[in-house]
Chain A
Amino acid sequence: MADFIKKIKMNIRLIVQFSFFALTNGYLKGFGEGKIYKGKLKMFCVPGLNCYSCPGALGSCPLGALQSVLGSREYKFAFYVLGILMLFGALGGRFICGFLCPFGLFQDLLYKIPFVKKIKNLPGDRFLKWFKYVLLAVFVILLPLFAVDITGLGKPWFCEYICPSGTVMAGIPLVLMNESLRGAVGFLYAWKVLILIVVIVLSVIFYRPFCKYLCPLGAIYSLFNNISLYRFTVDKDKCTSCGACQKKCGMDIRVWEKPNSIDCIRCGDCIKICPEEAISIVNLNNKNKK
């Protein structure tokens, strides 16, 4: 029993990722019929990059909801979505990326595939990291707001032209299961699939390239990392600046200097590897907890 519990503890993140995915995308009837669930639960946004149009999805994607409202004729500001994002952000920041996002899980699994060389960062990492904020500003906010048709209707630019999570969770299953949709497949679909393939290939070699360089949702949550309820702290008395945490860190963060970096997805690998047990999760009692 003690052994089993230890195994659960070691893989708790993977277990949570899978369980949460089963919870949020458990609409098996959708997969059976090749249809999208459109019931009342869709009013709620799930925290990760989880496409509304996935046949199994029970909730909505916060980015999709944001673009949808900003692109609508009557609303130019999305109070509800912003509120939900702030709630999620304030609670966990990029904990969501590490534990609750299905596309994060997807990349984690891809990185486990054996490959000749495993590299942490793409070349140009320092500049590429800011690209996700550009995507957020342009494709999620500005274009839906201002690139409108003759009736004043905008569209979800990020969903339509970029999001590989949507392609793998929704675009591909829906087209596979609906012969009628195949007639609508054209250049745009090919473009989206190409983006997905590139992300997949990169994810085998590099760790979570989409999360690091492209994800606008991660960009939003990253702004909360310094102030969220769930955060890390480094005990300066114990830390020897050995750098073991950075070596282990998939996001390549100098954890001992910046335990709440905007790149941190809260995977907790640094906590496990620190030889001095200097890193820990801050809890409300202000005591260091494992």
Chain B
Amino acid sequence: MKKAITMLLSCLLSVLMLASCQQTENNQQNGNSDPQQNVSADNADNGENYADTSVFGTFTAKDLDGNEVTQEIFASNKLTMVNIWATFCGPCINEMPDLGELAAEYADKGVGIVGIPLDVTDEKGNIDSYLYNEAVDIVATTKAAYTHIVPVESMFVRKLASVTAVPETVFVDSQGNQVGDCYYGARSKAQWTEIIEELLGEVQ
């Protein structure tokens, strides 16, 4: 009898645990929204009369050196490789030296590389100063000497909240619209070169 009661209590506990977990999940949902839903909001903000299909929308942010960065950063190149990384992510860090070299090699060919250290802020864009400094150190150590944008809330709403694994790399044209696929995971310098060449052909 005692054991039966124990069993029943355990089952009850399981059910309660599952129920309460659904609650937690719902609270989290409020922060995320489908990127597509924000297109009309951007229209209202900018008075644009065409749908903004760019990956990151319009944003005003700073890079790791404190310089202001907006979506205009993409306009200066035909193709920009946006590499989303994190300070805790080993594979991200391992490929950054290669990305630094690629940035230098393609600088005069209209291809730029931009990094976004995802864990330096929370989803509202509040900076964690410890992780910020970590990111600065990592960039210095890996010699990934290109712009790294400290993300702001609009970028999370637009794209970053749906990033579930790092590194994730997307390519955009000068308007900030996506070119090619989303590339998950790290790659070798040779593999990235191949992809860059292929996508460069598409944006010419």
Q: Contact residues of A with B, CB < 8 Å?
A: 5, 8-9, 12, 15-16, 19, 22-23, 26-29, 35-37, 39-41, 58, 72-73, 149-151, 153-155, 180-181, 183-184
Contacts and interface: CB of A to CB of B under 8 A. Distances in A.
B41 interface: no
25 contacts: A5-B1, A5-B3, A5-B4, A8-B4, A15-B7, A19-B14, A26-B21, A28-B18, A29-B22, A35-B164, A39-B24, A39-B28, A41-B24, A58-B17, A73-B134, A149-B93, A150-B97, A151-B137, A153-B90, A153-B93, A180-B182, A180-B184, A181-B184, A183-B181, A184-B185
Contact of B142 (A8, A40, A150): A150
The contact size tier of chain B is: 20 to 34
B34 to A, nearest CB: 13
A-B CB proximity, top 4 nearest: A184-B185, A23-B14, A155-B90, A26-B18
Most B Cβ at <10 Å: residue of A8, A35, A40, A184:
A184
Interface in B83-98: 88, 90, 93-94, 97
Contacts of A29: 22, 25
B48 to A, nearest CB: 29
Given A26-B17, A151-B141, A183-B185, A36 B164 contact: yes
Nearest to B186: A184
Contacts of B137: 151
Contacts of B164: 35-36
A280 to B, nearest CB: 16
Contacts of B165: 181
Contact of B11 (A19, A35, A150, A181): A19
B203 interface: no
Contact of A27 (B3, B21, B94): B21
B13 interface: yes
Interface of B: 1, 3-4, 7, 10-11, 13-14, 17-18, 21-22, 24-25, 28, 88, 90, 93-94, 97, 134, 137-138, 141-142, 164-165, 181-185
B18 A8 contact: no
A159 B4 CA distance: 38
A58 B21 contact: yes
A28 B88 CA distance: 27
Nearest to B167: A184
A36 B182 CA distance: 19
A40 B24 contact: yes
A23 B13 contact: yes
A46 to B, nearest CB: 12
A66 to B, nearest CB: 16
Nearest to A150: B141
Contacts of A39: 21, 24-25, 28
A22 B21 CA distance: 13
Contacts of B10: 16, 19
Given A73-B134, A183-B183, A183-B185, A151 B142 contact: yes
A204 to B, nearest CB: 30
A180 B168 CA distance: 10
Contacts of B94: 149
A183 B167 CA distance: 13
Contacts of B14: 19, 22-23, 26
Contacts of A23: 13-14, 17-18
Contact of A12 (B3, B183, B185): B3
A153 B88 contact: yes
B138 to A, nearest CB: 5
Contacts of A36: 164
Contacts of A150: 93, 97, 141-142
Contacts of B13: 23
A61 B170 CA distance: 32
B3 A37 contact: no
